[in-house]
């Protein structure tokens, strides 16, 4: 199984491109493609990246916000530092209140964009993994409710399943525009979907 995954990875065009373009991961292309279509991150804005390791999304966010913006990454795993001085990192579990307090301190309580490509610890059992994904997504949404500026944007990954529709319906009430999509760089066999909330109410 492990060796087959290694072979598939090396054949993956986005994996190859991430190496060529010096991106931290192939996931960088997911954010690039989604941002190109939905204009999620603007220059000079404050972006919070929840579940940021190894840094693929933070790397793209730094390109988008420029020197005037700020990107804060949060993850249980360490992230290799970026050269940009406007990148900040908190190592910890973003579902914990003490980590959420640190997030608020660094961004002075307000963010323009919250992004999360975080995955729960996978069991290999589809229904269990879906519910874990929903729990993780709800933690991201709770943080967004506390820090998003009015008209701010949200981008999260969610695994499809029984509770997916309920999550979408709850988000429709929070954002003026809500989109669900799967970028070209997302693996076809994956049950992941990306939910974009624009213009937080």
Per residue in 62-114, pLDDT tens?
999 999 999 999 999 999 999 999 999 999 999 999 999 999 999 999 999 99
Active site residue 173: no
pLDDT for the residue 17: 59
Domain 25-200 has CATH 3.40.50.150: yes
Q: What's the CA angle centered on 198, arms 37 and 185, to 5 degrees?
A: 35
Beta strand pairing status for 87-91 and 175-181? unpaired
pLDDT for the residue 190: 80
Regions of the chain short of the pLDDT cut 50:
1, 5, 7
Catalytic residue among 42, 126, 157, 199: 157
Rounded to a whole number, what is the distance in angstroms from the first to the last CA of the chain? 46
CA atoms within 13 A on the CB side of 106: 21
Q: Which of 179, 192, 170 is nearest to 38 (CA)?
A: 179
pLDDT for the residue 5: 36
pLDDT for the residue 18: 54
**Omega within 30 of 0 (cis) for the link into 54:** yes
Q: Any idea what DSSP says for residue 178?
A: E
Exposed, middle or buried: residue 20 (CB in 10 Å: 0-12, 13-18, 19+)? exposed
List residues bridging with 90 in a β-sheet. Answer: 74
* C-beta separation of 135 from 159 below 8 A: no
pLDDT for the residue 191: 85
Cα Rg, the chain, nearest whole Å? 16
């Amino acid at each position: 199984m492990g060796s087959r995954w290694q072979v598939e990875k090396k054949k993956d065009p986005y994996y190859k491109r991430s190496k060529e373009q010096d991106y931290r991961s192939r996931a960088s292309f997911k954010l690039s493609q989604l941002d190109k279509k939905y204009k999620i991150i603007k220059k000079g804005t404050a972006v919070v990246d929840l579940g940021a390791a190894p840094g693929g999304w933070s790397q793209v966010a730094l390109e988008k916000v420029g020197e005037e913006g700020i990107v804060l990454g949060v993850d249980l795993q360490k992230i290799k530092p970026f050269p940009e001085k406007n990148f900040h990192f908190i190592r910890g579990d973003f579902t914990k209140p003490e980590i959420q307090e640190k997030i608020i301190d660094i961004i002075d309580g307000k963010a323009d964009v919250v992004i999360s490509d975080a995955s729960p610890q996978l069991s290999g059992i589809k229904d269990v993994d879906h519910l874990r994904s929903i729990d993780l997504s709800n933690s991201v949404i709770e943080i967004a409710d506390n820090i998003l500026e009015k008209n701010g944007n949200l981008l999260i990954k969610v695994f499809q399943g029984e509770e997916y529709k309920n999550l979408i319906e709850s988000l429709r009430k929070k954002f003026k525009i809500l989109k669900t999509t799967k970028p070209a760089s997302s693996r076809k066999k994956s049950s992941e979907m990306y939910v974009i909330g624009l213009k937080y109410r």
